[in-house]
A and B are shown apart, each in its own frame.
Chain A
Amino acid sequence: MTAPALECHAVTKTFGGLRAVDDVTLTVPCGSLCALIGPNGAGKTTLFNVATNLFAPTSGEVCFFGENTAGLTPQRIAARGVIRTFQAARVFPGMTTLENVMVGAHLHVHSSAVAQMFWTRKSRQEELRLTSGADALLDLVGLRRSRDFPATDLPIGAQKLVEIVRALMTRPRLLLLDEPAAGLNDRETAELAVLLRAICDAGTTIMVVEHNMSLVMGVADTIFVLDAGRLIASGSPQQVQSDPRVIEAYLGRTKEQAS
């Protein structure tokens, strides 16, 4: 039995008096596609940031594949195969789409800077191999044509895809996506859902933070629902959808319920 991809044990994060994440315990098994949903300000992104150690939790602990993340820098976490994307598309300006994706190959560049400077055969071959990998991924998402254009010139939807492809270039074991569908139209969202399923089926565990129900409901195995920092429900899309607490969190109480 392998350790789960992500475990949060009683994670709490407070900012001053605000309990942004309050005693959250959840487990993402290897090979699954999980989603973290909740209304605005529920603490989804904070939980993500705590998990990837952008800030340390006030209490509780986070483990990736059985290893505690305490004290690991974002770069170390990435080296362990846990890659995250950001809420706003963060493509690198001043670089082409291909270069952007190739940055994701950083962990797989084994020739040293010195070898690259001497144009060694090995480093050139490695570069070619990684480039063809990047091209194949860009092909997959239909961005091959844009490979030599500045990534910042692409529309937002395409930039989000570039970010996901860039994350895939690292060959992650666990992919943490922060609102990948924000700013996408319905057709792009549907395509993204297909892509995420395919990535997951190819063996990468995925955890998505999402607002967009249409993306999440169709594709996730397990859904966790946060409200005001607390985990209020978890389970399959059907279970979560019919959970009265979830409905309440999203729609508020009806008058009859309140009375």
Chain B
Amino acid sequence: MSDIIQIVIGGLLQGGVFAIVALGFSLVFRVTNVVNLSQGAFCVLGAMGMYYFQVVFGWPIVPAAIAAVVASTAFGLLVGLLTFVPGVSRLPTSSMLVLTAGLLTFLIGITLLVWGNQPYALPPFSGEAPFVVGRLRIPTQGVWLAAVSAAMIAGLWLLLHKTTLGRALRACAENPVAARLMGIDLPRMMLLSFGLAALIGSAGGVLVAPIMSLQFDSGQFFTISGFISVAIGGMGSFAGSIIGGFLLGVAEQLAAFYVSSLFANTLSLLLLLFVLVVRPAGLFPSGPQRRSDIRDDPRIYRAAVHLDGYRAVILGGAFIGLLALLPAVPLPFGILSSLVISLILFIAVLGLDVLMGYAGQVSLGHAGFMAVGGYAAAILATSYGWPPLAATLVAVFLSVFCALLLSVATARLRGHYLALATLAFGLLIDSVAVGLVDVTGGPSGLVGIPAFEVAGFAFDTPQRMYYLALALSVILVVMLEGGMRCGFGRALKAVRSDQLAAAALGINVGRVKVVALCISAALASLSGSLYAFNFHFLSPEMVSTPRSFEMIAMLVFGGEGTLIGGFFGSLALTLLPTLVQEFAVFKTAVEGMVLVAIFLLMPEGLFGRLALLLDRLPLRLKLARIGADL
């Protein structure tokens, strides 16, 4: 019996942190209607600050903690001012979700630069000796955590319900336009909520650093756990966030004790999917529920990128010819392999473009389909001796089946709930890949995967893989272009911005979305299989959530809704770390920065911008000629 109580105490401790992160989520969501995925990174920033002030500079605990929280809150305000607030007023909520994913990646990258990839633990505030009550042992840090969390929750409640500022904040949540007309400075309120959330998060990080060892990517863990808590409890509901956090913490600890620590994650994700499917608004839904799904906010949308057929064929042909000749040129070591990887990833990004760029459905778990494809093909080929081609095709069917299951489960979900369900899906697949050690090799990966092979011809050199990936990419681009320029593509684009108007014209919105998801799942699966065959090795971290975010960064960098744009994105983000070795450590931070900057400064992406320029070129030439004649 005391075992259980001991576990529950552990769960409540962990849940306390989740609740703090969840509170930050709810706060920002209430004011801006955006799910801020960067929330968890502030915990790590707080902890990192504490490490420097306390351990490196040797400050006493209280000043060090205050300095750490102040520093990370200030940094949070700066980040919010430069990225989050301008974004909220300009971008549709789905893009904001991706933008905050970019912020998360950026902050993780910053932590990696400062901390390296070592885990850090800090000394507890009041010594190592726990309180002992009967046979129970309660770490003193837990008491600190509980006390400070309670104080923060009470303070937040007082702020929101008893002050004019709080009323202004709540007004922004319920009706931003009216709030603005009443003279409330909306951007300032958004910044304030973002800063408050950063403050709460970093305080949580400072408190939890002594009980959990943290490393650069713990931010992702906090974001995900906090998000699961808030989704269980009810997005935007403060009481719900806190209860959700404790529920999740206890459930995870119990699962880790009674089932397996490898599967603790799996169970909490299943819990999340269950809640999302059964009660999308969470167990304690908050009052105001704005619907952002039927029609996206009338904010700026991507420009209609349009390159006419004649120029597309000539430019495209020349470009493919150039790529085909590339292996004949002596290239520096590693470049060809990087090209192969970028082409393989491009196949998945193509699918993501159909789903995100055309159908407007954000998928934050696309690497999950890559994992399904990669593992299924690799396992069939290694353990069962299947020919790689057949294994790849079966894996594609399996992924499409997963996509169908996911769309049945999430049929009622819309907008960011759908995006978050895909995030949960990706994490779920990841945790299964880690947990099923006997089948997948667990965290250390699956080795001995053969080369890809068709009818006895093995693609076992980078050169052969290059031509295979190039040929597949070209075929897929041509095929998808065929679909996208016709009725199917138009139906997708109509659904992207206005589902109601699309349905009123006879478009079966549900079916169109499912088809888009299946196509993108099939392409991600194909890409995942090729990826595994190319490396002869597959580990969960090669196809986990950071990969999903990376693919989104590639797509956004190249240009959504352009098909070909993703190639430039995947090329840039794959080739740069190879070309500039010193760049490798900056990769994560740069990826995040690219994602955020492109969204804010060039929402049509690199290729989108290029196509617009090309489109206007004839007009400019004509004007120049008229000018010359005069």
Contact = CB atoms under 8 A, between A and B. Distances in A.
A118 interface: yes
Nearest to B509: A75
Nearest to A149: B304
Contact of A170 (B485, B500, B503, B506): B506
A170 B561 CA distance: 25
Nearest to A88: B298
Contacts, number: 115
Interface stretch (B93-101, B123-131, B385-393, B488-496): B488-496
B412 interface: no
B476 to A, nearest CB: 9
B133 interface: no
Secondary structure call for the B interface: helix
Contact of A73 (B298, B494, B501, B503): B503
Question: 5 tightest CB-CB pairs across the interface, nearest first?
Answer: A109-B487, A78-B506, A93-B301, A116-B486, A113-B488
Given A75-B508, A78-B505, A79-B506, A95 B490 contact: yes
A94 interface: yes
B497 A94 contact: yes
Interface of A: 52, 54, 73-75, 77-79, 83-86, 90, 92-96, 99, 102-107, 109, 111, 113, 116-119, 123, 127, 148-152, 166-167, 170
Most buried by A among B306, B478, B501, B504: B504
21 contacts: A74-B503, A75-B509, A79-B506, A83-B505, A86-B500, A90-B500, A92-B501, A94-B303, A94-B493, A103-B494, A103-B505, A116-B483, A116-B488, A117-B480, A117-B488, A118-B479, A119-B478, A119-B482, A127-B486, A127-B487, A151-B304
Contact of B304 (A79, A86, A95): A95
Contacts of B482: 116-119, 123
Contacts of A95: 304, 490, 493-494
Nearest to B495: A92
Contacts of B500: 54, 74, 86, 90
B515 A113 contact: yes
B479 A117 contact: yes
A74 B504 contact: yes
B494 A92 contact: yes
Contacts of A111: 486-487
Most buried by B among A79, A93, A99, A123: A93
A59 B479 CA distance: 49
A84 B508 CA distance: 16
Q: Give the interface residue-count category, chain B.
A: 35 or more
Given A78-B503, A78-B504, A103-B494, A94 B304 contact: yes
Interface string B499-527: 01111111111000001000000000000
A235 B507 CA distance: 36
Interface of B: 295, 298, 301-304, 306, 478-480, 482-483, 485-488, 490-491, 493-494, 496-498, 500-509, 515, 561
A113 to B, nearest CB: 4
A52 B503 CA distance: 11
B615 to A, nearest CB: 9
A114 to B, nearest CB: 8
Contacts of A151: 304
A121 to B, nearest CB: 12
Nearest to B506: A78
Contacts of B479: 117-118
Contacts of B503: 73-75, 78
A90 B494 CA distance: 11
A150 B501 contact: no
Contacts of B508: 75
B578 to A, nearest CB: 33
Most buried by B among A79, A106, A111: A106
Nearest to B502: A103
Nearest to B508: A75
A81 B508 CA distance: 15
Contact of A94 (B298, B301, B478, B509): B301
Contact of A103 (B303, B485, B490, B515): B490
Contacts of B478: 119
B496 A94 contact: yes
Contacts of B488: 109, 113, 116-117
B498 A90 contact: yes
A90 B304 contact: no
B561 A86 contact: no
A153 B368 CA distance: 39
Contact of B486 (A93, A109, A152, A167): A109
B493 A92 contact: yes
Nearest to A104: B505
B103 to A, nearest CB: 25
B608 to A, nearest CB: 11
Given A75-B506, A95-B490, A106-B507, A148 B306 contact: yes
A164 to B, nearest CB: 12
Contacts of B515: 113
Contacts of A119: 478, 482
A95 B302 CA distance: 9
A177 B306 CA distance: 30
B108 to A, nearest CB: 31
B234 to A, nearest CB: 24
A113 B506 contact: no
